[in-house]
Each structure stands twice: as structure tokens, then as C-alpha cells.
Structure 1
Amino acid sequence: MPSPRPGARAILIGTASYTHPDLTAIPAALNNLTDLRQILTSAGGAFAPEHCVVVPDPRSGTEVGEALAEAAGEATDVLLVYYTGHGVLDSRGRLHLTVTGTNPARPSWSSVPFQMLREEILESRATARVLILDCCYSGRAFEAMSDTTTVIAGETSIHGTYTITSSAANEASFAPRGDRNTAFTAALLAAAKAADLTLDDLYRRTEQHLIDHGHPRPRRRSIDAAGGLKLLGATDELRFRRAADAGDVATMNSLGVLLHKRGDLDEAETWYRKAADTGHTSAIYNLGLLFEDRGGFDEAEIWYRKAAGTGHTRAMNSLGVRLDKRGELDEAETWYRKAADTGHTSAIYNLGLLLENRGEFDQAETWYRKAADTGHTRAMNNLGVRLDKRGEPDEAETWYRKAADTGHTSAIYNLGLLLEKNGQLDEAETWYRKAADTGHTKALNNLRLLVEKRGSS
């Protein structure tokens, strides 16, 4: 696997939020930065993580300029500059890249004039420079990157420049509402999933993706041989896709998990089903999780039952939870016990909870204690409550403290209650304050009453 290029530097700039009412927010801009950085710094990518700098929501042109100057000054091999956000034009039609405080009526004073960004890029000693602009009117960059004066004054200053823009000089770009990424960067990322690409390959695939989805055609300009560069690494997703396409069942499930976490539920379902059709138990269980995330509880139960029937412990517990919520306590208990017998901590706790709700307090305590002994925080708190109610404050305090030390809010509050009841008012106040700081309403009220009581005594 190729190593990152020592002389390669990347700076990814994105503006999502704006103070001026005429500039709408672009939430996807920050996702663009995160997702692009992940590919650039993945195994096989050109950039080491510490050399791929992200500048989210810059407040001023100076903030952008300082970060760009540092990256451009350090780059000796490749310099990549990416910008996502609004592009605005001044009265002379010149492109400006917005920052959070940009006033579109006065872009020259409140944004990043592209001319300044261009000069910083061209002064870098990097042998290859790559500029990617995802903004309205980004095609205006070509006018600035190849003006006649620059070409005549010093052709070597633009050697190896490769520019990709999301739109032509007179076009707007798109950020579909609710999508994770802007249209152009989504296409860029989609293209990068296909294979390890040169810049030319990446552009062509990005262009086709945008055309297929009815978005503006991107533009590019390549000078000399920069189009043959390979900058993108093989991401986990790319490696998973290759193995899954080759028929590796475990990787089909892993790809489904990756897509599921990212919110691509339809494609995740496709890969889960392919793996589940071969009998892959975790994929069968994961289908249950996916349907539960969608609110399809009946369908989720079907898949949980299939996985639980093969002995999948987490599926047993999840099936128990579904039955428990539906009020079918006897069958829920059966599945909790099966999972608990394998040592599944959440099932052990859930069994205790079910038994307590049924009034079987001694049995509930037994199971809470088993879960608490494994470090289950809620079980520690619930065990403390049972002991507290039974009149064993010393042991109750022990368990409350263990749970409170992990930040469990109810345990923090319960510890305050117990200490106040024992007359330890100073420490009770301390714990009430900690719980109140998390927004615990009862703790806030008890703190107020305790302070008033101590103040009047």
C-alpha cells in the first residue's frame, strides 16, 4: 500500500453558516469537509492526516489566508485546495469565496477574493497544484487562473495546475435540502468509490454522475501532466465494496454496517439481505436493527427471531426487548434468560428490570447485582435503589457512588437524596449541584430547598 507523499499538503475550507440574511446556510458543507478528508487520508491516499487541514466556518478571509499560506509554504510535491460554500460576484463580475461574516453587497471587504487565493496557490513551490471549487460561479476561477498577464510574465508559475469547478462561470451550484453532501461533492465522493483514480478519471466519473442526476456539468482545466495524479486512498467502503462484489459474505455484512451507520438504509438493506440469504447470522440480526431504525417493528421482530433461533445472543436480547415493550412478558423473560445465560450484560439487566416491574423484587435484585458486577451503570443505580428501599443505606451508597462516578445522572441525584437523609448536607448539596448541572429537574428543586433550609437554620 503506497504511503502518503511527504511533500503533499491539503487544505479543505468550508463555510456552512452565515450571519448575513441573504446568504442561506449550507449544512452539507461541513459534511463535505469530513467526508473528503476521510478519503484523502485513508490507506493509499496522498496525504498524511496531519497534513490535511480542515478550516470549517472561517470567520474571516484572514483565517483562510493564514491556513492556506502555511499549507502552500510547506507543500513541495502536491498542494490541494478545496473550497465549499457560497460564491459571490462583485460589481465587476469577479469571484469571491464567502466566509461566515461575508456581506454579499461588499464582497471585496468581507470575503476571500479568488484573486488572492490564486496568488497564494501559484506562489507555492509544489510541483502539482490542485484546486477544487464547489460553489456558485466557480467557473470564474478559470479566468483568474489563466489570465494573459500571468502567462506572459511567468509560465512556470502555473506549471502543473489542475482545476475542477462545480459549475460554469455563469451557473449556480446545488446543495439539495436534507442531503448529506452538496450535489457536486456528493458526485465527487461517489466517483471515488469506484476505484483508485487519477484526477482525470475522477473528473470524468464525477461529471457523469452529475449529468445522470440532472445537475450542472462541472468544468476542469489541466495544465501539463497533473491529470495523471492519484490522490485518493482506498477507503474502508471501497475495500469493502471490492470484496463484497467478489462474493465475500462477511464483507457484505460489514459494508451493510458501514452504510447503515452513514444513514444509507436502502443500500445497507441490500447488502444485509445478500449476506442473510447465505445464512450469515449477524446480517440477519442487522436487518432487524435496520427495520427497527425505520420504525418497522413487526418486520424487525421477524429478523430478530430468525437470528435468535440460531443462538445469536444480541438478537435474543433485542427480541426480548420488543416482546417486553408489547407486554408479552413471559416470552420476553424466556429470551432474556437465554441471552443472560450466555453472559449478555444488557439481557441480565433487562431481566432484572422485567422482574422488578412484575413485583419480584428479590429476583430483580439478584439480576441487578449480576449486571452491576460486570460494570453495567444502570444496574448499579437500580441495585442501589433496591438496597435503599430495603433499608441498607451503606451498600446502597456504595453502588450509587460507583454509578455516579461514571456520570449516571439518576445515581448522582439518588446519592444526594441518600446523603441528605443521612444528614450529610454539605456533600448532598454537592451531588445535587452535579445532577442539576445536567438539567435534572428534581435535583434542581431539591438543591433550592436544601439551600433555603440551611439558610434559615
Structure 2
Amino acid sequence: MTSPSYRYRALLIANARFPEADPQELPELHGPPRDVTAVAEVLTDANVGLFDAADVMRLEDQPHWEINKQVQRFFSASAPDDVLLMYFSGHGRLDALGKLYLCTQNTQPDLLWATGIAFDSIDSLITTSPAKRVVIVLDCCHSGTFRGGGGESMTGRGHYLITSTREVQLAADEDGQGQPSPFTRQFVAAIREPGAPGPLSVPELYRRISAGFEQRGGPAPTAPVLRRG
């Protein structure tokens, strides 16, 4: 049951089309639309979810300025007892310094600073957000870079990051079977997996995701990083 003092809010971002980029550099993806649908459904499922539909916002194939605006609103307009989940599915790219950028509908790989979403900017918003409980889930290439690339680290109490890849790995897209991407499929399955009563903790969620990948013989995602202020 949801604690009466908590409000669960989610921002789900997916980008599958990149018309301003060379398709060889940013090819169109099949998974993101299915990914956000699957995540939204499980978060609002009356049996396993903790989120009201009105508190789950979806952004699909939007330009970087619209996503930046909504991300800032999401984190700044929160309350201390909010539980925030930000999920991203799409391409991730690194700049020359190894900084992670999330790609948007108008991203151009040679203009990442101007047309992408710098993840260290998102981290700054997380750090200054009134919300004490934040979970970030990244299903994109190079998503594990944030743990080490560029000297970045996650710090702060109650803040978690789960990524679909290690630092130099590429994330797998949907395999043509009409399903979400492999990581998101396992993420959703982990939430639906029967377990102890009460809200699912992030470490337990990660344990379930990792166990699912081990059973399939695929690579496990990076471990969630607990922020310790």
C-alpha cells in the first residue's frame, strides 16, 4: 500500500526518431515507444504499481528544449515527501570528455551540447530538488558512464541510479518481436515479480533485474548507486 505521506511521480522519456541526424550515427529505434508504454502500465497497475495515472507524464520524440523544460519542472516542483522516478529510453552518446548526453528528437551527434540533454545537468537538478527520494533508470547506450566517466559520481541520500549498460556497452534495442527492449522488459518483469508485501525497494528491484539477466545469460546492468550525502 502507498504510504499516505508519499506521492509517487514519474517522468517517462522516450526518443525513437532522429530526423536531424545522420541515420548511420543515430538510427531510428523500435523499442522506446513500447518501453514507455510498458513502464507506464506497470507503474499504474493496481496490483503492483504505486503511481496514479495523473502523476505519470510521458514525453515521446520531443526536442531537447521541451524535455529540458519538463525535467526542470519535474524536479523543482516536488515536495520533500515525493518519490520521483525518471525513466529514459533512447540513444545515449558521449562527448569528447566522456560526458553522457541523452539524445532527443533534434539531437545532432556533432552538436551534443547544443541539441542533447547533458546528464550532469540533470544531476544538478536532482541535487537541488526538494524531493529526498529519487530513482533514475536509463535504458540507453553508455548509460553506465555516469558512474565513472568524466570523474562524475552520484552523491546524496535516497537517490538511486539503475542503468542498462556498463560504461562502454551499447544497449540492445527491441528485437522485432513487438516487445520492449531487453532491459526494460526485465525491469517491468522485476516489478511484477511476486515478493514480500509492501513497496519494492530499489536494491531488491536491482537484484531481481540482475537475476533475470543471469538466468537469460545476458549481461547484467550496473548496480544501483545509493547517494550518501
Q: Cα offset for 1:146?
A: 8.1
* Inter-partner Cα distance in structure 1 for 2:151 and 2:207: 22
1:38 — aligned with what? 41
* Inter-partner Cα distance in structure 1 for 2:111 and 2:193: 42
- Alignment pair present for 1:213 and 2:209: no
Q: Which amino acid aligns with 2:225?
A: R
- Alignment pair present for 1:29 and 2:32: yes
2:158 — aligned with what? 160
SS state at 1:173 partner: coil
- Alignment pair present for 1:195 and 2:194: yes
Q: Which amino acid aligns with 1:201?
A: E
SS state at 1:24 partner: coil
Task: Please say if residues 118 and 145 of structure 1, whose CA atoms lie closer than 8 Å, have aligned partners that are also in contact.
Answer: no
- Alignment pair present for 1:102 and 2:107: yes
| Deviation beyond 6 Å, 4+ runs, structure 1 | none
* Inter-partner Cα distance in structure 1 for 2:117 and 2:7: 26
* Inter-partner Cα distance in structure 1 for 2:193 and 2:150: 30
Q: Whose helix proportion is higher, 1 or 2?
A: 1
* Inter-partner Cα distance in structure 2 for 1:52 and 1:4: 18
Task: Please say if residues 95 and 138 of structure 1, whose CA atoms lie closer than 8 Å, have aligned partners that are also in contact.
Answer: yes
Identity %: 29
Q: Which amino acid aligns with 2:183?
A: F
Q: Cα offset for 1:138?
A: 0.4
* Inter-partner Cα distance in structure 2 for 1:38 and 1:199: 19
Larger radius of gyration: 1
2:121 — aligned with what? 116
Query: 1:63 and 1:189, CA in 2 relative to 1: closer, same or farther beyond 3 A?
Result: same
The equivalent position to 2:227 in structure 1, one of 205, 208, 223, is: 223
Task: Please say if residues 162 and 221 of structure 1, whose CA atoms lie closer than 8 Å, have aligned partners that are also in contact.
Answer: yes
Q: Which amino acid aligns with 1:9?
A: R
Gaps of 5+ in 1: 152-157, 225-457
2:182 — aligned with what? 183
2:55 — aligned with what? 51
Task: Please say if residues 11 and 56 of structure 2, whose CA atoms lie closer than 8 Å, have aligned partners that are also in contact.
Answer: yes
Gaps of 5+ in 2: none
Higher RCO (C-alpha 8 Å, min separation 6):
2
Task: Please say if residues 174 and 215 of structure 1, whose CA atoms lie closer than 8 Å, have aligned partners that are also in contact.
Answer: no
**Structure 2 length normalisation: TM-score?**
0.86
* Inter-partner Cα distance in structure 2 for 1:70 and 1:12: 14
* Inter-partner Cα distance in structure 1 for 2:95 and 2:181: 24
Moved more, 40-49 or 111-120: 40-49
Q: Cα offset for 1:215?
A: 2.8
Q: Which amino acid aligns with 1:169?
A: E
Q: Cα offset for 1:53?
A: 0.7
SS state at 1:83 partner: strand
- Alignment pair present for 1:138 and 2:136: no
Tell me how many residue pairs correspond in the alignment: 216
1:174 — aligned with what? 172
Q: Which amino acid aligns with 2:173?
A: A
SS state at 2:7 partner: coil
2:15 — aligned with what? 15
Q: Whose strand proportion is higher, 1 or 2?
A: 2
